[in-house]
Amino acid sequence: SVPLSFFGGIGGASKCGVLIKGSNYLEALAKTETVVFDKTGTLTKGAFAVSGCFPQGISRDALLELAAYGEKDSSHPISKSIIKAYGKAIDGSRVTQVQELAGHGISVRLDGKQVLAGNAKLMEENHIPFEAIKESGTVVYVAQDGAYRGAILIEDEVKEDAARVIEELKASGVRRTVMLTGDTRAAAEKVAGKLGLDKAYAELLPADKVSHMEELLSQVSEKKKLAFVGDGINDAPVLARADIGIAMGGMGSDAAIEAADVVIMTDEPSKIAAAMQISRKTLRIVY
Ligand code: ADP
Ligand code: MG
């Protein structure tokens, strides 16, 4: 049977915007040793804005048009920024064969020609000769029927409360903080450095995130737990694998909210530390 004070703990957490889906997770939160974060949409706002265009042999507008049409059905936060920067209405009838390529980008047919938009890995795997952009933001490279058409630089911002997350987690007993991201090393290091994370792994495909998660799980001390915090976009398999899967409830995907053990309703990562403090207090009352 579940001790009564556990209900108090779950109630207290829900009052501060954290939904804990069972007393076992309240207990697990109190024993968390490692917290692993996704980057985009979790520690950063996921509200990208285009900050530079590098067209190759076409106009800036033509580059944005290719990318915006490519991204029109994507659920990734990157897509919104590109569609916004393009700024014109999109005629969906020009687009067919839409494919979202997890950890890479997208592929569509626009007016019958293949358009690819995504990271360097996407260009490399499709043998597109491209010019690497060395700025610290996220870069979306664009190709049309095998020809390189240019790059779009987009930047994301760290969430306001993310700066204190790591400190607060350490204060509530967490010993290790890690970030797993599909984004570039430069983008990852910028965020990890700013926040003081212990470790950041970058340029990961969804499958790489799972293998890193398994490695991290194997390093957790006996009777201690590992929590993963993500938005569910490209990270649902990792969320499911963690001892405690924590999802962002506001902008996360419905599937992630469903699959998660804990949901942060306000999308503020600092709420995890608050929930941990509540869970530790509750457990001290019980035992
Ligand atoms: P994160 O781990 O930071 O949440 P994701 O795994 O969602 O990142 O995506 C990894 C990378 O794949 C992105 O940084 C981007 O380079 C590329 N990518 C994914 N989806 C798209 C898309 N719709 N358009 C362009 N690039 C994309
Ligand atoms: Mg993400």
Q: Please name which of 77, 53, 47 lies closest in space to residue 65, comparing C-alpha atoms.
A: 53
100, burial (CB in 10 Å: exposed 0-12, middle 13-18, buried 19+)? middle
State whether 104 and 167 are in the same domain: no
Strands ordered across the beta sheet of 95-101: 49-55, 147-155, 138-144, 113-118, 105-110, 95-101
Phi and psi, residue 16, nearest 5°: -100, 20
Q: What is the CATH number of the domain that holds 69?
A: 3.40.1110.10
User: Which pLDDT belongs to residue 47?
Assistant: 80
State whether 175 and 218 are in the same domain: yes
Measured by CA distance, the residue closest to atom 6 of ligand 1 is 182
75-113: pLDDT as tens digits: 888 899 999 999 999 999 999 999 999 889 999 999 999
Look over the chain and give the mean of its residue pLDDT values, rounded to a whole number: 92
Last residue of a domain, which of 155, 182, 215? 155
State whether 215 and 259 are in the same domain: yes
* β-bridge partners, 210: none
CA distances (Å), origin 264, targets 37, 102, 230? 13, 24, 10
- The ipTM, to two decimals, is 0.91
Report how many domains make up the chain.
2
Residue type, 151: A
Structure confidence at residue 287 as a pLDDT band (50, 70, 90): low
Residue 239 and residue 29: Cα distance in Å, rounded?
15
CA 283 – ligand 2 centroid, Å: 32
Ligand 1 site residues (CB inside 6 A) read 38-40, 71, 74, 76, 78-79, 103-106, 117-119, 138, 140, 181-183, 233-234
State whether 84 and 125 are in the same domain: yes
Smallest-distance ligand from the CA of 79: 1
pTM of the model: 0.80
Q: Examine the residue annotation and report whether 156 is marked as an active-site residue of this protein.
A: no
200-256: pLDDT as tens digits: 999 998 899 999 999 999 999 999 999 999 987 778 889 999 999 999 887 667 777
How large is the angle between the packed helices 4-15 and 23-30, nearest 10 degrees?
Answer: 80
Last residue of a domain, which of 155, 187, 212? 155
State whether 260 and 164 are in the same domain: yes
Q: Which tokens go with 104? A: 């890479």
Q: Please give the share of the chain, as a percent, with pLDDT higher than 90.
A: 73
Domain span at residue 166?
Answer: 4-45+158-286
3-state secondary structure of 43: coil
Q: Which tokens go with 97? A: 């064969």
Smallest-distance ligand from the CA of 181: 1
